[in-house]
């Protein structure tokens, strides 16, 4: 468990602050993460990696010459927000474009995708790339759905070394594609990890058993087996990976491979070496020549007791990139010549606030009616935050059944930030639309993860529907919820039946629309919609997930409602209480 922390909600920020202070010769802090201390050489593609905290040395520890040019770092086990990613990318950009790289998790896909859109609007050439090395998370025919685990390192390393050589953005992307296509990982665990401030681990493994095929966010494995000896563990890891070779490799014998035996947080280095001796022997017996192996903690999961094995099947080009020098706080290889300080691109100020939701900004003009309604919206957001606080532990427990257990924590961060931003907007005289827009940005920025992106979208749609001039009506609110329903489905790709928040959002929007069309006032219409939402949330217990982190553990979630669906239903009911008190639609 994590023993040394102050406020658990501030853990990720404080850890990043301490990391930057400890490694100021190699990195400097910017809003949302860190970049190379010396900047990106002029005309060099900037490789910006990122993901949630809790995985050190990924992601901040991999920033440095020969590796990434910057890292966007989210909250614990939550993707960085689009604002954070954009900020880091702008600070790292040196004129040749930006490649955004991350593990293939729903929240990362959403936020890095949104950041890419904003960077493109800024006039920056940008591409995104998701690592998909974990063979346990999807079948070979669905490899694009696989998540990124310790294979992040060789893929990041290949792309970064290519950028260091001065290749174009398109060429760097092709290198990343090649490295990813030839990288496979598989892991086992003996105990779950415990987040800062939590009383229980995200999952547990029975005594004398191990979880097989786990994820780095504490997701349970896809199966359990008896606790192995070190040699047994090595055989399981090696044999599993040798059963799935890249299409263009053919047979293992005669191949060369980069090998990573990765500790996930609390397996000691001596234990890893005991396992690696057998890994090396088995690969040798299979005719595989090992190139520059790495044994240690490279992509962790807080204090999880577990190990993973990664093989990157090398060709001459990938081997050149794998063996190329690197000088990052947590990963060093070979040696560079004396750095040419004059080659560095323009260094952005460490206080760059691109996308920073806390930056003061004048609010647009609003009508008196809209400013009055903004106070009611603020009350609703306060009720949302209070409800999330009251149910955070329950939401985490539900999420941990088949996911990573951080839904309650993420919702708390988002709702708290939204309430704070909304209060500041209301004090500044904002109308309802602007207040909701500010709350949306704050929720998305501080929560990160999939829920952060989706809740930011929901609030933004509501704000656009209400605007800053007219008093909210039942019809406007209904239209905003309908737009939110469509936007969330478009952004996340989920539909009704996938066991996500969409299973609640769609009936909420449809029922509210029908109730308003029937002539009901907003409080009564919302009550009817909230009742439908509660029924829909409960019904998700009978569904098997087809999206998100819970998908590989579908059977485990049967009988338990989806955490995102449940939290939306709770919030919908809390908002109804506010509407009863304020009765927004006086028309």
Rounded CA-CA distance 376/444 in Å is: 21
Q: Which of 400, 394, 396 is nearest to 410 (CA)?
A: 396
pLDDT of residue 548: 59
Task: List, as one string, the DSSP characters of 345-390.
Answer: -PPPPTT--TT-TTS--PPPP--HHHHHHHHHHHHHHHHHHHHHHH
Q: Which of 189, 209, 213, 212 is nearest to 201 (CA)?
A: 189
Tokens 């927000």 found at: 81
> Which has more confidence, 495 or 353?
495
- pTM score of the predicted model: 0.85
**pLDDT band at 194, cuts 50/70/90?**
confident
Q: Which of 113-117, 341-345, 512-516 has the lowest mean pLDDT?
A: 341-345
pLDDT at 474 over 60: yes
Residues facing 311 on adjacent strands: 184, 259
Rounded CA-CA distance 396/274 in Å is: 36
Contact partners, residue 294, CB within 8 Å, separation at least 6: 153, 258, 259, 260, 261, 262
Counting beta carbons within 10 angstroms of the beta carbon of residue 33, is it exposed (0 to 12), middle (13 to 18) or buried (19 or more)? buried
CATH assignment of 368-582? Answer: 1.25.40.340
567-585 average pLDDT score:
86
Residues facing 307 on adjacent strands: 188, 263
Rounded CA-CA distance 4/18 in Å is: 13
Structure tokens at 34: 């860190």
Q: Which of 26-35, 145-154, 169-178, 351-360 has the lowest mean pLDDT?
A: 351-360
pLDDT at 325 over 70: yes
User: How far does the chain reach from its first CA to its final CA, in angstroms?
Assistant: 55
- Compute how many other C-beta atoms are within 10 angstroms of the C-beta atom of residue 437: 25
Instruction: Kindly state the percentage of the chain with pLDDT values over 90.
Output: 75
pLDDT at 341 over 50: no
Q: Which of 441, 435, 523 is nearest to 477 (CA)?
A: 523
Out of 3.40.50.10440, 1.10.3720.10, 3.10.640.10, 1.10.1270.20, the CATH code matching 8-176+183-195+203-330 is 3.40.50.10440
Rounded CA-CA distance 266/284 in Å is: 28
Q: Among this protein's residues, is 217 annotated catalytic?
A: yes
Q: Domain residue spans in the chain? A: 8-176+183-195+203-330, 368-582
Q: pLDDT for 115-160, tens place per residue?
A: 999 999 999 999 999 999 999 999 999 999 999 999 999 999 999 9
DSSP class of 299: S
pLDDT of residue 471: 84
Q: pLDDT for 57-102, tens place per residue?
A: 999 999 999 999 999 999 888 899 999 999 999 999 999 999 999 9
Q: pLDDT for 532-561, tens place per residue?
A: 999 999 999 999 887 655 555 556 678 899
pLDDT of residue 347: 43
**pLDDT band at 343, cuts 50/70/90?**
very low
Which of 23, 217, 391, 407 is catalytic? The answer is 217
How long is the chain? 587
User: Residues 404, 566, 458, CA angle at the centre, nearest 5°?
Assistant: 95
Judge whether 453 and 107 are in contact, CB under 8 Å. yes
pLDDT at 164 over 60: yes
pLDDT at 40 over 80: yes
The mean predicted confidence, pLDDT, of the chain is: 91
444-458 average pLDDT score:
90
Judge whether 472 and 584 are in contact, CB under 8 Å. yes
């Amino acid at each position: 468990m994590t023993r040394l922390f102050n406020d658990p909600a501030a853990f990720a920020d404080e850890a990043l602050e301490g990391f930057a202070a400890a490694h100021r010769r190699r990195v400097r802090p910017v809003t949302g993460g860190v970049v190379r201390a010396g900047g990106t050489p002029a005309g060099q593609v900037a490789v910006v990696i990122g993901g949630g905290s809790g995985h050190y040395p990924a992601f901040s520890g991999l920033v440095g010459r020969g590796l990434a040019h910057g890292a966007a770092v989210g909250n614990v086990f939550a993707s960085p927000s689009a604002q954070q990613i954009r900020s880091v990318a702008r600070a790292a950009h040196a004129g040749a474009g930006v490649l955004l790289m991350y593990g293939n998790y729903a929240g990362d896909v959403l936020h890095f995708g949104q950041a890419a859109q904003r960077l493109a609007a800024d006039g920056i050439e940008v591409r995104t790339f998701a690592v998909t090395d974990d063979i346990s998370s999807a079948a070979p025919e669905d490899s694009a759905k696989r998540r990124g685990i310790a294979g992040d390192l060789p893929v990041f390393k290949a792309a970064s070394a290519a950028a260091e050589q001065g290749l174009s953005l398109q060429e760097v992307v092709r290198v990343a594609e090649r490295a990813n296509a030839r990288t496979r990982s598989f892991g086992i665990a003996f105990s779950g990890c415990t987040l800062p401030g939590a009383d229980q681990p995200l999952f547990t493994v029975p005594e004398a058993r191990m979880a097989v095929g786990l994820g780095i966010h504490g997701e349970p494995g896809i199966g359990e087996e008896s606790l192995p000896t070190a040699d047994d563990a090595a055989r399981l890891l090696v044999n599993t990976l040798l059963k799935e070779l890249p299409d263009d490799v053919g047979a293992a014998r005669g191949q060369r491979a980069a090998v990573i035996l990765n500790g996930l947080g609390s397996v000691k280095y001596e234990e890893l070496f005991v396992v690696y001796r057998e890994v090396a022997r088995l690969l040798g017996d299979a005719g595989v020549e090992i190139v520059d192996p790495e044994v240690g903690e490279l992509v962790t999961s807080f204090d999880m007791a577990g190990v993973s094995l990664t093989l990157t099947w090398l060709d001459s080009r990938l081997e050149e990139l794998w063996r190329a020098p690197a000088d990052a706080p947590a990963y060093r290889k070979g040696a560079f010549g004396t750095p040419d300080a004059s080659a560095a691109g323009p260094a952005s100020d460490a206080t760059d606030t691109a996308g920073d939701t806390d930056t003061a900004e004048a609010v647009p003009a609003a009508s008196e009616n809209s400013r009055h309604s903004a106070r009611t919206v603020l009350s609703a957001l306060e009720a949302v935050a209070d409800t999330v606080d009251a149910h955070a532990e329950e939401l985490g427990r539900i999420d941990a059944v088949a996911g990573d257990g951080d839904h309650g924590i993420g919702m708390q961060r988002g709702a708290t930030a939204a309430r704070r931003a909304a209060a500041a907007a209301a004090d500044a005289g904002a109308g309802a639309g602007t207040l909701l827009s500010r709350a949306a940005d704050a929720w998305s920025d501080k929560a990160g993860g999939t829920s952060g992106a989706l809740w930011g979208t929901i609030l933004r749609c509501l704000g656009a529907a209400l605007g800053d001039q007219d008093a909210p009506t039942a019809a406007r609110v209904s239209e905003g919820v309908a737009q939110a329903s469509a936007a969330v489905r478009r952004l996340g790709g989920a539909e009704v039946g996938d066991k996500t928040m969409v299973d609640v959002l769609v009936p909420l929007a449809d029922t509210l629309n029908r109730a308003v069309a029937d002539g009901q006032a907003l409080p009564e219409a919302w009550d009817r919609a909230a009742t439908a939402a509660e029924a829909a949330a409960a019904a998700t217990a009978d569904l098997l997930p087809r999206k998100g982190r819970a998908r590989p553990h579908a059977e485990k979630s049967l009988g338990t409602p989806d955490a995102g669906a449940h939290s939306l239903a709770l919030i919908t009911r809390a908002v109804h209480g506010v509407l009863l008190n304020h009765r927004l639609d006086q028309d």
